[in-house]
Amino acid sequence: MTPDHRVIRVEKMLDGGTGFSAAWTAVGDKVTVPVASRPVPDSRLLSSIGRGLRACGQTRVLAAPLGARRVETILVGDGALALPGSWAGSDVVMTLPDMSGAVLMTMRQYALVSGPRAFVAACLACGTEQAKADFARLARRLATTNPFLLEVAAAHPPRWPSWRTPAEVPPESVTRRKLSLIDGFVAGRLDVERFRHAWVAARREAMAAGERAHGDLGRLLDEAFHEIDDYDVYSDEREFTRRMTVLHARLHRMSRRQEPR
């Protein structure tokens, strides 16, 4: 029995069974994100994929264990994707019907979700860059027992590191623009509405770009967002300016602590 044309197309998507081929990922605006997984069937991951497929309006996927001579059509129901029981313990690849997106589930404690950004993001519990960072931390934690995870993480690094202080934020980043907007507002160069509109737009842009902050900087940026969002509730310009000035001073003190002596 010769493989059907779908098997041949699926095989061309893969690179030795451990990832997707460069030729396939280069077509279109694809992103590939590694995530932790258990051996097939991983109900948690299959639930996430099912949720992502439904969010993208998909009603079915093509799927097969690696090396199979047939590709099966799996219907997308209300819960986790239901794979044949005979596939348990196998590496499995699932693709969108047009093969623009795919998921590779492996026996080596990882899976790869790849395809259009909207599809990949819908399959994840967090943003794509946060998922990459989370996987990198997992790979370091499991390096002794499964060093291959470090190779997977290195092949799919976050676009940006996570910044802890203002001094670490590069000038070309959108997060730097968010900090500059706070500077401009406190200095009186922006009125409240212009500042709020520009800052919220920059926040969305930073999230879309995968920029991340943690520690004190992350907390202060979250606090800035809540102050901006809450302004619609109390609409007191003087109080809002006072709160942002206090927050700005805390950011400034953080920057001063990072200056070289």
pLDDT surpassing 70 at residue 111: yes
Residues 69 and 39 in one domain: yes
Span 3-20, pLDDT tens digits: 567 888 888 899 877 899
Cα–Cα distance measured from residue 220 to residue 138, given in angstroms and rounded to the nearest whole number:
27
Q: What is the pLDDT of residues 35-49, one digit of tens each?
A: 999 988 889 999 999
- Residue 247 pLDDT level (bands cut at 50, 70, 90): very high
As a whole number of angstroms, the distance between CA 245 and CA 136 comes to 37
| Same-domain check for residues 56 and 87 | yes
97 and 217 fall within a common domain: no
pLDDT per position as a tens digit, 177-197: 999 999 999 999 999 999 999
Phi-psi region of 104 (alpha: psi -120 to 50; beta: other; left: phi over 0): beta
DSSP code per residue over 193-223: HHHHHHHHHHHHHHHHTT-EE-HHHHHHHHH
- pLDDT confidence of residue 225: 95
The confidence score (pLDDT) of residue 261 equals: 36
Query: Do 171 and 141 fall within a single domain?
Result: no
Q: Which of 134, 155, 176 is the last residue of a domain?
A: 155
| Domain boundary residue, one of 102, 132, 155 | 155
Q: Are residue 119 and residue 196 in the same domain, yes or no?
A: no
Domain boundary (107, 130, 155) is at: 155
For the segment 51-71, the average pLDDT, to the nearest whole number, is 91
Q: What is the pLDDT of residues 202-225, one digit of tens each?
A: 998 888 777 888 889 999 999 999
- The closest alpha carbon to 101, from 124, 82, 78, belongs to 124
**Which pLDDT value is given to residue 77?**
85
Domain that holds residue 198: 162-258
Q: What is the pLDDT of residues 126-160, one digit of tens each?
A: 778 888 988 998 999 999 999 999 999 999 988 77
User: Maximum distance among all alpha carbons in the chain?
Assistant: 77
Round to the nearest angstrom and report the end-to-end CA distance of the chain.
73
pLDDT the model gives residue 2 = 53
- With 80 as the cut, is the pLDDT of residue 234 above it? no
At residue 258, the pLDDT reads: 56
